[in-house]
């Protein structure tokens, strides 16, 4: 396993640093850096601050993902499903949450609201061609493989 360094600047309203909850966890939890509870009505979206700024090593990104527990129990997810924080971003990390349930949900101060995974980035060289190689699937889209 490769280890990279993540530099973190804690802002005044931050209480918790991100942390891995288990030895085998791929993502570290991000907490809501809010002073008072934030109510999220059904289908409502809000940007929740974490009180953190980060600096990634060159060639890495931070992926902000939903937490499975809060997603399945309460329908709380991320507006963009997986958010990317580029290596050159230096602003506060905020989490764009959405309530996909039929009930109002209240985000509590310091609640774990998302997880952040640090990942290596590969850049692609673009090559324009006149045709692509053939495959058995070809242009078959959703459900085209016949497997469920």
CATH number reported for the structural domain that contains residue 63 in this entry? 2.70.40.10
- What are the angstrom distances between the C-alpha of 60 and each of 6, 19, 31? 10, 18, 22
Q: Would residue 27 count as lying in a domain?
A: yes
Would the pLDDT of 119 be above 90?
yes
Q: Would residue 132 count as lying in a domain?
A: no
Q: Would residue 115 count as lying in a domain?
A: yes
Residue 69 sits at φ, ψ, to 5 deg, of: -60, -50
**Contacts with 36 (C-beta within 8 Å, 6 or more apart), sequence order:** 109
Q: Would residue 71 count as lying in a domain?
A: yes
Would the pLDDT of 139 be above 90?
no
pLDDT tens digit string along 81-109? 899 999 999 999 999 999 999 999 999 99
What's the predicted TM-score (pTM) here? 0.86
pLDDT tens digit string along 19-72? 999 999 999 999 999 999 999 999 999 999 999 999 999 999 999 999 999 999
Q: Would residue 52 count as lying in a domain?
A: yes
Q: Would residue 129 count as lying in a domain?
A: no
* Cβ-based burial of 31 (10 A; exposed 0-12, middle 13-18, buried ≥19): buried
Structural domains counted in the chain: 1
How many Cα atoms are found within 13 Å in the side-chain-facing hemisphere of 59?
Answer: 5
Host domain of residue 35: 7-120
Q: Would residue 133 count as lying in a domain?
A: no
């Amino acid at each position: 396993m490769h280890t990279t360094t993540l530099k973190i600047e804690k802002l005044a309203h931050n209480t918790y640093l991100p942390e891995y909850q288990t030895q085998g966890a791929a993502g570290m939890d991000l907490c809501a850096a809010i002073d008072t509870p934030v109510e999220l009505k059904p289908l409502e979206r809000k940007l929740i601050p974490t009180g953190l700024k980060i600096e990634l090593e060159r060639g890495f990104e931070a992926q902000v993902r939903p937490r499975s527990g809060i997603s399945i129990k309460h329908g709380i997810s991320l507006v963009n499903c997986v958010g990317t924080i580029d290596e050159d971003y230096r602003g506060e990390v905020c989490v764009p949450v959405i309530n996909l349930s039929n009930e109002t949900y209240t985000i509590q101060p310091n609640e774990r609201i998302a997880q952040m995974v640090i990942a290596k980035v590969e850049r692609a060289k673009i090559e324009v061609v006149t045709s692509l190689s053939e495959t058995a699937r070809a242009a078959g889209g959703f459900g085209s493989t016949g497997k469920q």
